[in-house]
Structure 1
């Protein structure tokens, strides 16, 4: 039996190293590689692999957020297709709390830099779980891997998991020749124009590598960022003033240096009133 696998890591060197170590495993076929969390979700749904080597610490959509998104999509399609969740092996330089979480929930991990013996051990665990039918759901119930991943995500929602999310709530913004890691809390708004997404903070503005607003929203905290208009995403904590406009519409005056005014589409007016009890 051949095990189809994906490698997802934002570091080229790490991807190359892992791919090299996997070449020695004759039953593993690396079908694709990805460089970020958003790409990971699409590659998993496209290839539906048996195994995913997934970096934990990626900008924007990290490894845990990838798991969450994949499980959401899997459950939506569950009744219409025989799609089994893959086995996940995390690649990490993470703290011992996370490592214990992986062990408790039978999700394997590799510490960077990778070691051939440890990679072989992880593959043995994956082979054993595939052979035992660990990815096959029982009648009317979740598969073991689905239950394990649920338990892991619930564990990470606790106090230490919340701290991890707060520490990693960053977005890459290109300002000139520099790639800056920006705290999401510092972002005032983002605007798309002619396919280019401009990200504006209180101190500066730059461009996102994302191609669409939807792709950008995948990397942002949905509790804080709101798509007020087809072309604009705003940080609700960075709204300085709600300005009544004509015909019962509104504009948002933002907290950036220019105090930019952003229109609220008619379809989002109800949401605006809910947010601020207008």
Structure 2
């Protein structure tokens, strides 16, 4: 697993690298002392996993995750502060480790990552959910049995995903990453860190900032979704002859 360590303390980075030497599946490809360095390295290496400190000069760990344009890697937070644990899991963190890091606790966190990786590898194209599949959605007291082709947009809301279909916007307890793994990529496209769009609902496409695109979706209220620069390249390849 390609891994990046993000921590403003050099000694903390060195100690974590030393501990990770006992885990041959973890390949530390880079390290960063702040969020700005980390963003450049994430764009360069496209890592599978981040070990991420929370309190750092400049942007903190949460603000770093907010600035990632596309799919966020799996995240294990490493911090000396326990008051951020609840917020960490709102960002779909796989684990939250307190400093100083204990080897047994680190092994437990890495086991979670390996389990998640194995789970995603076992998903075959035959198991993708397509536009003709129907899914049961329950939000509070309301229930729907909706055909996925009617869902024009999936929007990340922390540990939840909001489905946009007709004039309804129910939420389900699922991360956008895990949902993306189940959806047919020929129909449902990851536009950016927060959105998956149904390609059949696109009404208009416009050039946008920094090489990105802005798509307008059909629907009761016209939604405009930005496709990030990196995803725009994939989008153009997907939609070209």
TM-score normalised over the length of structure 1: 0.43
Structure with bigger RCO (C-alpha 8 Å, 6+ apart): 2
Report the structure, 1 or 2, having the larger helix content.
Answer: 1
- Highest Rg: 1 or 2? 1
